[in-house]
Structure 1
C-alpha cells in the first residue's frame, strides 16, 4: 500500500489541500473556502472537512497517510502545534490547530508559518532547488519572509526569524498591527500599494483607476495598478517605482544581513514582475554590499499559488517522519 502525505496551506480566503505520494509529488489537490471573517471553530471545521473530501475523492485510506503538514500565517508555538495569533483571521487566539486535525484523523500533524512552508516547497521543487542559502519573500496582503541558511531553515528563539515585513523604513510611518510604525510590509504589499495609490489620488493626481472604480477607492486593488501601469498611467508608474524601490532597500538590508545566494519573490503581488522587480534590483545594485550582492540573484517563485501546500507536505515529511 503506497504511503501518502497531506499538505495544507491555510489562507485568509482559501484553504489549499493536496495529497502527495511518498516522493512528494502531487496526486490530487483542492480548494475550500476559509471563512476567515467568522471564527476559529468554523475555519477549522472547513479545514477538517476539506481533508475528508480529498481523502474520499481519491479513495485513500487514512492508514496510508503518514503525516499532515499545515502552513498557517502569523505567530505560533510549533512544538505544541498552537497558532497563537494570525492577522488573517477573526476570533482566532491560541488555536490548537495540530491537535484538532490529529484528533480528527489520528494522523501525526505538524504546523509551521505559511511563508516557511512556501520556502520548503520552493527549496525542494522550485526556484530554490540545489541552493543552501535562500531567502524567500512573499508579497500578498502583507509581506512575509523566511530564510534557509547553510541548508537549514532559520527559526529563532520564538520562531519569528527573518520577519522582513517589520523592518522599519520610516521613523514615523504608517501604523502597523505589530505595534510599530513605518514597517516595510505596510508599503510593499497589496494593502500597501493600494494605500500609496490613495495617497496620490488625495494629492489630486489623476489616474484612469479612478474611473475603473467609479470614484469608490474601496474597490481599488493592487492588480489594477499593474494594468494601469501598462496603459502608461502616471500614478501607477510612480506607485510601482516607489514600491519597487522600497522593496529594494528592504532586500539590500536582508542581503547584507543573511548573505543569501538566491532571493525568491513569491505571492500574488509578485505577479507584477519587472514592473516591481526592476526598480528593486536597481536599488540592490547600488546599496547592498558588493561582496554579498555579487553572489546573489533575485528570481520569481516557480511553484505559484500551490507552493505552500507542497511545502507543508515537505515539512511534514521532514518534521514528523524525519525525511
Structure 2
C-alpha cells in the first residue's frame, strides 16, 4: 500500500502545504492564509487545517502518512523541535512546534529553518540533484542561504550556519537589522536593489519607472526594475548589473571558503535569470580563486515557490531514513 509524506512551508502571509508519494510526485498542493496576527496557537491550528484540507482532498487517510516536515522562518532548534523566534509572527517565542503536532498526529513531525528546507528541496528534487557540495541562496526581501558539504547539510553550533546575507561588504554601509552594517543582503535582496535604484534617482538620474509610478518612489519594486531592463531602461540595466556584481563579490568569498561545485540562486529575484546571474558569474570568474571558480556552476533554482513544501517533505523523509523508520524503500 502506498505511503506518503507531508511538507509544510510556513510563511507570514500564507501556509503552503503538499502531500507527496514515495517518488516525491505531488498528489496535492495548496495554500491557505496564515492569519499570523492571531497568535501562535492560531497559526499552529492553521497548519493542522492545511493538513486536513490536503489529505481530505487527496483522499489519503492519516495512517498512510509516514511523516511531516515543516519549514519555519527564523531561529529554531531542529533537534528539540522548538522555534525560538520567527519574524512577522507576533508573540512567537519558544513555540514547541513538534510537541504541539504530537498532540494530534501519530506520524512524526520535523522542523527546520525555511531556507534549509528549500535547500533540501533543490538538492534532492531540483537543480542540485547529484551534487555533494553546493550552496543555495534565496533572494527575496532578504538573502537566505543553506550549505551542503560532502553530502551533509551544515548546521553549526546554534543551527545558524550559512548566514551569507550578513557577510560584511562595506565597513560603513547600510544599517542592518542584525545590528551590523554593510551586510550583503542589504544590497542584493529585492529591497536592497530597490534602495540602490532610489538612491540613484535622488542623485538626479531618470527612468521609465518614474512614469509608471507617477514619481511615487515608494511604489518601485524589483519586478519593475527587471521589466524596465527588458525595455532598455539605462538606469534599470545599471542597477541590475551593479546588484549582480555585488552579489558576485560576495559569492566569490563563498567559493573561496567552501569550494562548492554548484551555487543555486532561488527566491523571487531569481526570476530575473541571466540579467542578474551573468554579472554574478562574471564577477566570480574574475575574482574567486581560479581553480575553485572553474569547478563551480551558478544556476537558477528549478522548483520555484514549490521548493519549500517539497523540501520540507524531503527533509522529513531523510530524517526518517537516517533513523531507519521508513516503511517504504
After TM superposition, the score normalised by the length of structure 1 is 0.96
Does residue 87 of structure 2 align to residue 83 of structure 1? no
* Superimposed CA distance per residue, residues 97-144 of structure 1 (whole angstroms, 9 cap, x where no aligned partner): 222223232321010111111111111121111111111111111101
User: Following superposition of structure 1 onto structure 2, how do residues 59-98 of structure 1 map, counting pairs within 5 Å?
Assistant: 59-98=59-98
Distance 1:39 1:210, change over 3 A: farther
Moved more, 94-103 or 3-12: 94-103
1:130 counterpart residue number: 130
1:188 counterpart residue number: 188
User: Following superposition of structure 1 onto structure 2, how do residues 235-246 of structure 1 map, counting pairs within 5 Å?
Assistant: 235-246=235-246
Task: Provide the aligned length of Structure 1 versus Structure 2.
Answer: 323
* Superimposed CA distance per residue, residues 75-104 of structure 1 (whole angstroms, 9 cap, x where no aligned partner): 111111111122343332222222222323
Moved more, 99-108 or 69-78: 99-108
1:215 counterpart residue number: 215
State the SS of the aligned residue for 2:94. coil
2:34 counterpart residue number: 34
Does residue 192 of structure 2 align to residue 179 of structure 1? no
1:55 counterpart residue number: 55
Moved more, 13-22 or 148-157: 13-22
1:144 counterpart residue number: 144
2:274 counterpart residue number: 274
State the SS of the aligned residue for 1:207. coil
- Measure the CA separation in 2 of the matches of 1:310 and 1:64: 18
Conservation of the 8 A alpha-carbon contact between 2:255 and 2:293? yes
Task: Give how far 1:321 is off.
Answer: 4.4
Does residue 117 of structure 2 align to residue 117 of structure 1? yes
2:15 counterpart residue number: 15
State the SS of the aligned residue for 1:122. helix
Conservation of the 8 A alpha-carbon contact between 1:109 and 1:320? no
User: How much is the aligned-residue C-alpha RMSD, in angstroms?
Assistant: 1.5
* Superimposed CA distance per residue, residues 10-43 of structure 1 (whole angstroms, 9 cap, x where no aligned partner): 1233211000112322111101122345533333
- Measure the CA separation in 2 of the matches of 1:308 and 1:295: 28
- Measure the CA separation in 1 of the matches of 2:87 and 2:214: 30
Conservation of the 8 A alpha-carbon contact between 1:73 and 1:88? no
- Measure the CA separation in 2 of the matches of 1:28 and 1:246: 39
Moved more, 213-222 or 262-271: 213-222
2:233 counterpart residue number: 233
2:303 counterpart residue number: 303
Task: Give how far 1:220 is off.
Answer: 1.6
- Measure the CA separation in 2 of the matches of 1:217 and 1:36: 29
Does residue 306 of structure 2 align to residue 294 of structure 1? no
Structure 1 gaps of 5+ residues are none
Conservation of the 8 A alpha-carbon contact between 1:20 and 1:313? yes
- Measure the CA separation in 2 of the matches of 1:180 and 1:287: 25
- Measure the CA separation in 2 of the matches of 1:105 and 1:174: 46
Distance 1:61 1:321, change over 3 A: farther
- Measure the CA separation in 1 of the matches of 2:118 and 2:61: 27
Superposition misfits of 4+ residues, deviation over 4 angstroms: none
- Measure the CA separation in 1 of the matches of 2:115 and 2:62: 27
State the SS of the aligned residue for 1:111. strand
Moved more, 51-60 or 246-255: 51-60
Conservation of the 8 A alpha-carbon contact between 2:28 and 2:57? no
- Measure the CA separation in 1 of the matches of 2:63 and 2:26: 18
Distance 1:52 1:39, change over 3 A: same
